[in-house]
């Protein structure tokens, strides 16, 4: 891999979890006085999806770390050599950073309504402005694009499985959230559904 692309990948692996998860969690925590992470340890569908999602994101970042640390170990992730093209890697890095910025903007526009999972204890404001005019799920969309981007940068069988599993997991989570939002916001949310696509 080109030295510049390698440095950009290293920077991304540091920035993404720091800005998208850690910093946003701290910001909202300070605003609402409690952790905005709603996934629990029960065997409910909601909590199981949360655990799976966390594992998939960690595995994707781990794949990049493994690549940066040990090419020998990386070979065990079954690289797809036909896709190891500089152009695809450049495109992947570009979209990885673009989707990270998109996700950060989406989170910021949610403000104190941002949660990881469904918050059934507190009714938050329904956010329909900004990027939420373009997509009902811009944060999840950003995550999917990020993982697709990382697959382009590091095309291997494990990353492909992670990408497909993440799309499936997020789709199931979105359906759970939609049912909850319909129940809580009623006509306001139904009207939002009519004018805004689920993804883009």
pLDDT digits (tens, 9 = 90+) for 34-64: 999 999 989 999 999 999 999 999 999 999 9
DSSP 22: I
Residue ranges covered by each domain of the chain: 3-33+44-113+125-195
User: Closest by alpha carbon to 139, among 155, 130, 164?
Assistant: 130
pLDDT tens column, 112-160:
999 999 999 988 999 999 999 999 999 999 999 999 999 999 999 999 9
Element (H, E) at 200: none
CB-based contacts of 79, cutoff 8 Å, min separation 6? 154, 155, 156, 157
Q: What is the pLDDT of residues 15-38, one digit of tens each?
A: 999 999 999 999 999 999 999 999
Alpha-carbon separation of residue 77 from 17, 107, 157, 162 (angstroms):
22, 32, 6, 11
CA atoms of 66 and 75, how far apart (whole Å): 10
pTM beyond 0.85: the answer is: yes
Calpha distance 126→185 (Å, rounded): 8
Task: Report the pLDDT value the prediction gives residue 1, as an integer from 0 to 100.
Answer: 80
Question: pLDDT per residue over 50-101, tens digit each?
Answer: 999 999 999 999 999 999 999 999 999 999 999 999 999 999 999 999 999 9
Q: How many CB atoms lie within 10 A of CB 135?
A: 18
Residue with tokens 């999972």: 117
What's the CA dihedral at 110, 116, 122, 123 to 10 degrees?
40
Closest CA to 25 of 15, 35, 17, 33: 35
What is the dihedral sign for C-alpha 111, 12, 131, 168?
negative
């Amino acid at each position: 891999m080109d030295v510049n692309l390698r440095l950009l990948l290293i920077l991304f692996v540091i920035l993404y979890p720091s800005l998208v998860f850690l910093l946003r969690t701290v910001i909202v925590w300070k605003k609402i006085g409690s952790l905005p992470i709603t996934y629990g340890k029960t065997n409910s569908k909601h909590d199981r999806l949360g655990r799976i999602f966390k594992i998939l994101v960690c595995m994707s970042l781990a794949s990049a770390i493994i690549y940066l640390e040990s090419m020998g170990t990386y070979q065990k992730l079954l690289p797809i050599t036909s896709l190891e093209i500089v152009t695809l890697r450049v495109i992947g890095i570009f979209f990885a950073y673009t989707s990270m910025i998109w996700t950060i903007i989406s989170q910021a526009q949610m403000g104190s309504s941002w949660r990881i999972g469904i918050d059934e204890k507190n009714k938050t404001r329904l956010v329909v402005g900004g990027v939420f005019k373009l997509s009902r799920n811009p944060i999840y969309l950003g995550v999917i694009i990020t993982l697709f981007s990382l697959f382009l940068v590091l095309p291997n069988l494990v990353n492909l499985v992670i990408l497909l599993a993440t799309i499936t997991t997020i789709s199931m989570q979105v359906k759970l959230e939609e049912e909850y939002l319909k129940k809580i916001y009623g006509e306001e949310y139904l009207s939002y559904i009519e004018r805004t696509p689920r993804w883009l």
